[in-house]
Amino acid sequence: MRRVALLSILLLATTAGPLWAAEEPASSALPLEYHLILTHPNLHLVTVEITARTVSGDSLEFVMPAWSPGRYAIYDFAKNVQEFEATGAQGQPLAWTNLDKQTWRVDLRQAGGIVKVRYRVFANDLNGSFSQFDATHANLNGASIFMYVAGHKPDPLNLTLDAPKGWQLISGFSDSTSERIFHAPDYDRLVDTPLEACPEIRLTQFQEQGKTIRVAVHSYYDEDTDTTKLLEGLQKIVRAEMALMPAPDFERYTFIFHFAPDISMGDGMEHLNSTQIIMRGNLRSSLDEALETAAHEFFHVWNVKRLRPAELGPFDYTREVYTPSLWLAEGVTTYVSYLSLLRAGLWTREQFLGRLSEEIRVFEEEPGRAQMSAEDSSFHAWFYDRSPQMQETNFANSTVSYYNKGALLGMLLDLEIQSRTQGTKSLLDVLSLLYHKFYEAPQATYYGPGRGYDEPAILAAVNEVSGSDFTAFFDSYVRGTAPLPYGNPLASAGLALRVSVREGAPPSIGITAQPEDRGVRVFAVRQGGAADRAGLGRDDIVIAVDDQPLATVDLNKRLRAYLPGSSVPFTVERHGRQEIIYLTLDPPTPNLYSIQELSGATPQQTAIRNRWLTGRN
Ligand SMILES: [Zn+2]
Ligand SMILES: [Zn+2]
């Protein structure tokens, strides 16, 4: 998945032992038929029937996932399940009970060897996790729609679709848009294959290294008739990324794009042989972001969908699955996607270095960077990965993003490995080694191929590739919270980080705030800053500065009138009462970050830089 903005959000670290996916009880495979019926677009209701034959025993349990791989948040998809019923071989009703919020236990004693359950799911969200069925399309993410049969996730199954007449269907399974019957080797693959049914989908394809890359576009904008630029960009990205890693083991990959005006935010979600990319805005206005998202999601073909943490496949869908490795799975994917956009020629060198500088700025402005490590941020993703917040949190002060820090660790590791190997090895060699070692290993579970890695395997692979010991690096920066060391890795490529104060920057008071009608509401207070020292708190509303109301003048503009060190009266409203609080202003925060070429770089520094930026010696 891809983070939508360079904003981090996040939480308080506690430590707990990892929970491993529960083992499925062994039982013989059941013939399973899934039937998806799309008949009530106006009600946003899809009907699902699951038929299991040769059933025996007293009962069988049908389970709705609590989450969907790729989005580390408990969504409880069972919330939208209704009208559950179960019948036996002769269509006779079977008794059932709910064991918990997401498990239906069906009584098999009168079933006659066959059980069919039927339920409806309300689906009206267009994004990478939920599903949407309306008059324009059905966009379906399997975990939000399909129950699994407890103990039978490994069983092969067939899926039949009843879609409105004239609708075309596209998914990682489909050979043609008229197909309606699909085979899935197991439940995990079923829910790892999103499905779009739509009367106006635009489908094209190209070839790269003998693989077929299909591009499906559903746009709600009438002007989006020309997908040429999107296709050209995708072709460059696919070519660039395939050059970085071993050839993937698919024959066909499917991009499913949506361009929609009425969604709150865009999304991208990785799958084994496909991806969902959903943009807010038309193709022209969101082309760059769509391609950037595509570069990220396509690299997940290798990193996280095939090379994966041991916890992420097979999955325990009933509860949180913890891994310390999302900094590699997501953050390093972000870093490599930037590199591939550069190598693909879609970004200039300045854009690439500019984006890395921006990642550094975001990280350096995170108060939580001294509290939360990359591994802790990964582990606690469940608290903040687009999960609904039921109470106020201090994430703005206590957390870092594993996307952001992971991307920086990717950059630093890449440069450091190149530096220690005189430019002969890079982070991509580490990812390739891990891919060979784990993904191309003998199949360890039904969820093959290969097996998942554990966190120590990352350090071991870095050490093996570099012929050097990176233990101290991992202790300090991956599982530790030491300040990130930009200087030496950048210098090894003849580059340097420059940090300065933007001209005209106002004195700092150390808050983040949101404008409101009457002033600005304090959202977070930085510990030790001017606002903290004066006793300003979250949810205080700053009504005026020096009697000048903030209803009409921007706070920063107002602060520019004062010198650092000035004591300035703020009119603050708290629980409906106003008071005056004096703040002693701090110097402006350095907020201009750039990575620049060192003058007088040695030939070796220049060689590493050129190899890094071009992929060629
Ligand atoms: Zn991602
Ligand atoms: Zn659609």
The pLDDT of residue 3: 65
Q: Which ligand places an atom closest to the C-alpha of 137?
A: 2
Q: Which ligand places an atom closest to the C-alpha of 256?
A: 2
Q: Which ligand places an atom closest to the C-alpha of 140?
A: 2
Q: How far is the CA of 220 from the centre of ligand 2 (A)?
A: 9
Q: How far is the CA of 579 from the centre of ligand 1 (A)?
A: 46
Q: For 34-61, write each residue's pLDDT tens digit.
A: 999 999 899 999 999 999 999 999 999 9
**With DSSP H G I counted as helix, E B as strand and the rest as coil, what are the percentages for the chain, rounded to 5?**
30, 25, 45
The pLDDT of residue 8: 37
Q: How far is the CA of 125 from the centre of ligand 2 (A)?
A: 11
Q: Evaluate whether 428 touches 336 at the Cβ level (below 8 Å).
A: yes
Q: How far is the CA of 138 from the centre of ligand 2 (A)?
A: 6
Q: How far is the CA of 330 from the centre of ligand 1 (A)?
A: 5
Q: Which tokens is 94 given? A: 């079977």
SS3 85: strand
Distance (Å, rounded) from C-alpha 331 to C-alpha 617? 26
Q: How far is the CA of 164 from the centre of ligand 2 (A)?
A: 14
The pLDDT of residue 10: 34
Among candidate residues 402, 588, 573, 590, the one with its CA nearest the CA of residue 479:
402
The pLDDT of residue 23: 43
6 by Cβ neighbours in 10 Å (0-12 / 13-18 / 19+) ranks as middle
- Chunk the chain into consecutive blocks of 10 residues (it has 617) and report each block's average pLDDT, rounded to whole numbers: 49 35 63 96 97 97 98 97 98 98 98 98 97 98 98 98 96 95 98 97 97 98 96 98 96 98 95 98 97 98 98 97 98 98 98 98 97 98 89 94 98 98 97 98 95 98 98 98 98 98 96 94 96 97 96 94 97 97 97 96 96 91
- In percent, the amount of the chain with pLDDT more than 90 equals 94
Q: Which tokens is 324 given? A: 């310390």
Residue type, 425: K
Q: How far is the CA of 199 from the centre of ligand 2 (A)?
A: 9
CA angle 330/605/467 to nearest 5° reads 60
472 contact partners, CB below 8 Å, separation of at least 6? none
Element (H, E) at 254: strand 252-260
CA angle 324/330/331 to nearest 5° reads 90
Q: How far is the CA of 260 from the centre of ligand 2 (A)?
A: 9
Q: How far is the CA of 197 from the centre of ligand 2 (A)?
A: 7
Q: Are strands 59-63 and 103-107 parallel, antiparallel or unpaired?
A: antiparallel
Q: Evaluate whether 569 touches 547 at the Cβ level (below 8 Å).
A: yes
Q: Which tokens is 608 given? A: 């590493």
Q: How far is the CA of 278 from the centre of ligand 2 (A)?
A: 10
Distance (Å, rounded) from C-alpha 350 to C-alpha 595? 9
Write b or e for each residue in 305-334: b if 16 or more Cβ atoms lie within 10 A of its Cβ, otherwise e. Answer: bbbbbbbbbbbbbbebbbbbbbbbbbbbbb
Q: How far is the CA of 598 from the centre of ligand 1 (A)?
A: 33
Q: How far is the CA of 302 from the centre of ligand 2 (A)?
A: 26
Q: Evaluate whether 452 touches 312 at the Cβ level (below 8 Å).
A: yes
The pLDDT of residue 388: 81
Residue type, 35: H
* 258-265 contacts, C-beta under 8 A, 24 or more apart: 258/126, 258/139, 258/218, 258/219, 258/220, 259/217, 259/218, 259/219, 259/220, 259/221, 259/224, 259/283, 259/286, 259/290, 260/126, 260/219, 260/220, 261/220, 261/221, 262/220, 263/126, 263/127, 265/4
300 contact partners, CB below 8 Å, separation of at least 6? 270, 275, 333
Concatenating the DSSP letter of every residue in 59-79 gives EEEEE--S-BTTB-S---GGG
The DSSP symbol for 470 reads: -
The pLDDT of residue 387: 83
Q: Which ligand places an atom closest to the C-alpha of 135?
A: 2
Q: How far is the CA of 151 from the centre of ligand 1 (A)?
A: 29
121 contact partners, CB below 8 Å, separation of at least 6? 45, 46, 48, 77, 80, 81, 82, 131, 144, 145
Q: How far is the CA of 381 from the centre of ligand 1 (A)?
A: 13
Distance (Å, rounded) from C-alpha 159 to C-alpha 194? 13
Q: Evaluate whether 617 touches 606 at the Cβ level (below 8 Å).
A: no
In the block, which residue shows the tokens 């848009």?
177
Q: For 107-127, write each residue's pLDDT tens digit.
A: 999 999 999 999 999 999 999
The pLDDT of residue 7: 36
